[in-house]
Amino acid sequence: MTVNKQSLLAPAEVRAIVAAAGRAPSVHNTQPWAIAWDGVAFLITADTSRGLTITDRDGRELVISCGAALYSLRLALRKCGLDSHVVLMPTDDPRQLARVVPWRGLPASAAERRMFAAIARRHTHRGQFDDRPVNAELAVWLQQAAGEEGAALLYLTHPGQRAHVLHLAGAAERELAQDPRVRDEITAWTPAPSERRQDGVPSWAYARPDSLVSADELPARDFDLGRDIAQMQEPSRTSGTLAVLATEGDNAEDWLQAGQALQRLLVTAAQHSVFAAIHSQAIELPHTRSELRRELCTAATPQLLLRFGYAAVPTVPSVTPRRTTDDVLTI
């Protein structure tokens, strides 16, 4: 592979690519990535100082988040007409997650441009969904998107299975919400409206926990914790299409694949005004995760629980804050 160091990427392009990568979803909006560009390759490193040491002890969700940023970085390169060679876990240092070497490819297709544009529209949707189920054709495309990245999207359509998974998710949320260390961690990543933070989940993005949550709804994570700071008026009353994102194994490479699959399917969905809520509680606890796996009757390992649905583009701000490119990028 020949790489022309001089002309491949101008500094402004590097910055734009890193800014696009930084729009990825991340657990509690921790944005736990650092990106370096040495003129030949991007290196994505886990910023472990941003990890959730109680909720995400082994760094699984941290690495999934970085995987989502990696997919966006690859898509941003395609937008510039560049292909990329990606090596996951390129060194013995477990914090170094991916090395991405771009090289000249075909100009971006219209479909790739649409995908890239959807990076800015994608957001985690915790509010109301329309009643209609996700279109069957789109549901297949989302599975294909996950499959292209080495993961699987499993829909929970059987009523009994769905009811059991919702029960597990509820049990997990209740158990986590009672753990004072988990509560402290959530508090640290949910700044009050007066704080001007570039990370964390802003108070307009979630509602107070819904005491009327029905057996057919996936319980939202309680980000408010009785502080009465939540600003979203209406919690979701429609559970939407439920699915589990799963991988074959459960090591850092699998987590990176899960993250890339997550972002690929989310930007695919966003092009069709379909958004997702991400629910990870049932997978954060080993016992509910094992039970979920048994319920799915598959050898695959569950990584995230997702709820999809149609949602109008919100009139309130839907863009959660991000760290500046200078904070993330080293050249």
Residue 222 Cβ vs ligand FMN, minimum distance, rounded to whole Å = 10
CA distances 34 to 51, 80, 106, 138, Å, are 13, 21, 28, 33
Provide the sign of the torsion angle of the four alpha carbons 247, 251, 256, 257, taken in this order.
negative
Q: Does 28 help bind ligand FMN (rule: CB under 6 A)?
A: yes
Q: Is 260 in the site for ligand FMN (CB under 6 A)?
A: no
* Six-digit token string for 100: 């991405």
| d(C-alpha 122, C-alpha 124), whole Å | 7
DSSP for 115-153, please give it: HHHHHHH--B--S---SSPPPHHHHHHHHHHHHHTT-EE
* Cβ-closest position to ligand FMN: 25
Binding mask 31-70 for ligand FMN (x = CB under 6 A): ------------------------------x--xx--x--
Q: Which residue of 260, 281, 288, 301 would you call a contact of ligand FMN, by CB under 6 A?
A: 281
Give residue 274's identity as a one-letter amino acid code: V
Shortest CB 148 distance to ligand FMN, Å? 19
> Is 279 near ligand FMN (CB under 6 A)?
yes
Total of residues contacting ligand FMN (CB under 6 A): 20
Query: Whole-number minimum distance, CB 329 to ligand FMN, in Å?
Result: 19
Q: What's the DSSP call for residue 275?
A: E
**Phi, psi for 277 (deg, rounded to 5):** -100, 140
Shortest Å, Cβ 223 to ligand FMN: 7
Element (H, E) at 19: helix 11-21
Q: Where in 136-232 does DSSP place strands (E)?
A: 152-155
Contacts of ligand FMN in 110-169 (CB under 6 A): 123-124, 126
Closest distance to ligand FMN from the beta carbon of 305 (Å): 8
Residue closer to ligand FMN by CB (options 83, 175) is: 175
* Cβ distance to ligand FMN smaller for residue 126 or 289: 126
Q: Is 236 in the site for ligand FMN (CB under 6 A)?
A: no
Regarding 307 and contact with ligand FMN (CB under 6 A), the answer is no
* Contacts with 321 (C-beta within 8 Å, 6 or more apart), sequence order: 29, 197, 198, 199, 200, 202
For residue 234, the Cα-to-chain-centroid distance in whole angstroms is 23
Binding interface with ligand FMN (CB under 6 A):
25-29, 61, 64-65, 68, 123-124, 126, 201, 220-221, 278-281, 320
